Amino acid sequence: MMTSNLLWLTPLVPLAVGASMLLLRDRRLLAVLDVAGSLAVLGMVGALARKVSSTGPVSALGTFRADEMAVLFLLLIGLLGVAVSIATVGWMRNELARGQIRAERLRYYYALVHGFIATMLVTVLADNLGILWIAMEGTTITSALLVGFHGDKHGLEAAWKYIIVTTIGISFGLFGTVLVYGAAVHAQGGVFAGAMNYSSIAAIAPKLDPGIIRIAFIFVVVGYGTKAGLAPVHMWLPDAHSQAPTPVSALLSGALIKCALFGIVRFHTLARGACGADFSQGLLLLFGLISVVVATPFIIVQHDLKRLLGYHSVEHVGIIALGLGFGGKLGTYGALLHVINHGVTKALVFLIAGDAIGRYGTRDMRLMKGFLHVAPFAATLLLMGAFSLAGTPPFSIFISELVILRAGLSAGHYVIVAVFLAMVVVIFAGLIHHVGQMVFGEADKAADRGREAFSPLFGTLLLALVMVLLGITIPMHLDRVLARATETILG
Amino acid sequence: MSVVLAVRLINVLGALLLFTMLLILASGQLYRAIYAVAAQAVLLGIAGAVLGAATGNIDLWVIAGITIVVKAILLPWLLIWVVKRINIPRDIEPVIPINVTLLFAAGIVVLAFHLSASLGSVRQAITGNALPVGIALILLGVLVMASRRKALVQMVGLFASENGIFFTAMAISQGMPLIIEIGVILDVVLGALVMGILVLRVRSSVDTDIADLESLKG
């Protein structure tokens, strides 16, 4: 089989798995198919990564293309897909036992999750910027149904805000795409083959009209930035990420907002080529700084565990934008590494948070004391995850934040670095206070002290392993992917 | 059709599109806003046909047809069907007074024309005034959504905003590739269906407008 076929087969597999799930009713069969489908995706992503690392970018059908940038995001989606589907087995068992989800609606849940993963994969694999946008809106449609899946008042409110705000938001992204297409067609004096493709526009980027690309990039950052959760257009994020079913929260925070960032990075590369680095980097710095600053007070005063994690994602998307904005090899490399680190860690913490909320029957952290006695393994992982999220060594996020800080210093952005550091310190205190309160102390009698089952534990353990590993060392293969992706962005 | 005539027609259609947008912004009644956005889609279809005739690109005729069927008939019909199902009061309660909204709107239109006048030769790539009109329509759609707290009016604002994008996209040399336009329209339809489902589910369980829920805060 030709490897280039993998480009369209990879999203086709979850789509087919999802469609066939609609025909099934058996709970066990659905769970097996869920895990098998995710493993298949991870396997195909791995094969693609090998191919790209040995022969360079692969493209197919004139609309799909995978370079190292895409490989990086594909690996994240593949890994999170597997971990989340393993954790879903146990989560779903509890959810059914508590009557939160009715057994006859299970198949819709699983089918939507796989549809959601398929749309994320297309987003990353699309060479055509129009397809990228269509898939991005597809992720909104599938995941909005998942956010409101429980059908309670809060879930529906969050789903509505999510779909209406991100749909209008990314329509700005479509307008930006249209303008870039117009600029490319104008530069070549007419429509040419692959005129909407990222790879062909990147090749002629210096010839694009800088005026229109500037306007286009503003539309793109506001548009895809809404979907990525960059402040001040993040207002839907804490609602949607906290109200969604837990495995979906993990995918939304871990993978989806990174896919939106992927869109921004593609246009950032084009804008760099057309009007120099300063304009797009300045805009990313602005949005990144606002995100970090705006998220901080909400993290401090938050008592709802999943909302806390939602606001925390706003902060980290801001940090990634700062890394891209500082620019240079160091900043870009750090931002890409942070994409992986935050994705893995945030998914881990969300999965454990879901387990804890199930055991205590509340989301208020003030009422969830003594998690260490209730579920020792999960509590230990939660503590590790929280320390990692707060940027403590020896965990992975410390490394990427350090790289980004150094990039900021060497680029001479002292004020921004100072504000960033101050916020990180405050957030560290707030986060450790909240989580410490939850992990230690005397547990309530009513808390469910049931045995910690293989699932969700194994799914979270897998993520924790990656988190710890990336804190100690960056594997050679990953380093090469990161370095080459950095080169693609910097041109 | 000569190019000069096409440019003049596009400019006239652009002005009419802005006019329908003002009707949406000023309308105190839900049905009027829905009819105005349907009229806007008809104008958009005509613009597609004009550009199709001017450039000789058959794809634009197809897009014009799809636009009229989907955006002027199907989506307004869906909105009206939902309005009848949920049986809500049909007056629109603005968050910001309508006079102030219109003042904002005037500012946005001026800004959009000023912004695109600052562009150089690349403006030739887009027929007539399609770029400033497109920018104005997108921003005015957001204004509609921000100034009303009614789910269906917010959907009208969203569709109007998307009409602006389609208008500019059509006017770029030969228009966007057909397959992309069809994909985008498919997304619009699916998105509208999911929004409709959410509105109906909230109405049947808690008996309020979904856009009025505000229990999630802080």
Instruction: Please state the pTM of the whole predicted model.
Output: 0.94
The answer to whether A182 touches A263, Cβ cutoff 8 Å, is no
The pLDDT of residue B91 is: 67
Name the average pLDDT for chain A.
93
On the question of pLDDT at A402 being above 80, the answer is yes
Distance from CA of B153 to the nearest CA of A (A): 11
d(CA A468, CA A489) in angstroms, rounded, equals: 28
DSSP β-ladder status, A64-66 and A58-60: antiparallel
Dihedral sign from CA coordinates of A295, A296, A298, A303? positive
Q: Report the percentage of chain A scoring pLDDT > 70.
A: 100
Nearest CB to B158; choose among A168, A186, A242: A168
The answer to whether A126 touches A139, Cβ cutoff 8 Å, is no
CA end-to-end distance (rounded Å), chain B: 58
CB contact under 8 A, B176 and A130: yes
Q: Which residues of A touch B151 (CB under 8 A)?
A: 160, 164
The pLDDT of residue B206 is: 65
Task: Report CA-CA distances (Å) from B214 to A155, A163, A168, B53, B210.
Answer: 12, 16, 20, 49, 9
What is the full DSSP assignment across A143-193?
HHHHHTTT--HHHHHHHHHHHHHHHHHHHHHHHHHHHHHHHHHHHTTS--T
pLDDT in tens, B68-85: 999 999 999 999 999 888
According to DSSP H, which parts of A98-152 are helical?
106-125, 129-147
Q: Which residues of B touch A182 (CB under 8 A)?
A: 122, 125-126, 168, 172-173
d(CA A411, CA A420) in angstroms, rounded, equals: 15
Length of chain A: 491
CB contact under 8 A, A182 and B126: yes
In the three-class reduction of DSSP (H, G, I as helix; E, B as strand; rest coil), residue A60 is classed as strand
For residue B199, which of B211, B187, B189, B188 has the smallest C-alpha distance?
Answer: B211
Nearest CB to B173; choose among A191, A212, A215: A191
pLDDT in tens, A213-250: 999 999 999 999 999 999 899 999 999 999 999 999 99
Angle at the Cα of B135 from the Cα atoms of B109 and B48, rounded to 5 degrees? 115
What's the pLDDT band for B149 if we cut at 50, 70, 90?
confident
d(CA B112, CA B130) in angstroms, rounded, equals: 11
On the question of pLDDT at A1 being above 60, the answer is no
Number of H helices, E strands in chain A: 20, 2
Bridge partner list, B18: none
Nearest CB to A171; choose among B162, B195, B199: B162
The pLDDT of residue A38 is: 96
On the question of pLDDT at A76 being above 90, the answer is yes
pLDDT in tens, A419-449: 999 999 999 999 999 999 999 988 888 888 8
Angle between helices A129-147 and A257-275 (to 10 degrees): 160
Q: Higher confidence at residue A451 or residue A324? A: A324
The answer to whether A127 touches B187, Cβ cutoff 8 Å, is no
Retrieve residue A298's tokens: 């909400």
On the question of pLDDT at A387 being above 60, the answer is yes
Task: Note if the bond before A245 is cis, omega within 30 degrees.
Answer: no
Backbone angles phi and psi of A407, in degrees to 5 = -60, -40
CA-based Rg of chain B, rounded to a whole angstrom? 18
Closest chain A residue to B134, measured at CA: A175
On the question of pLDDT at A114 being above 90, the answer is yes
Domain boundaries, chain B: 3-211
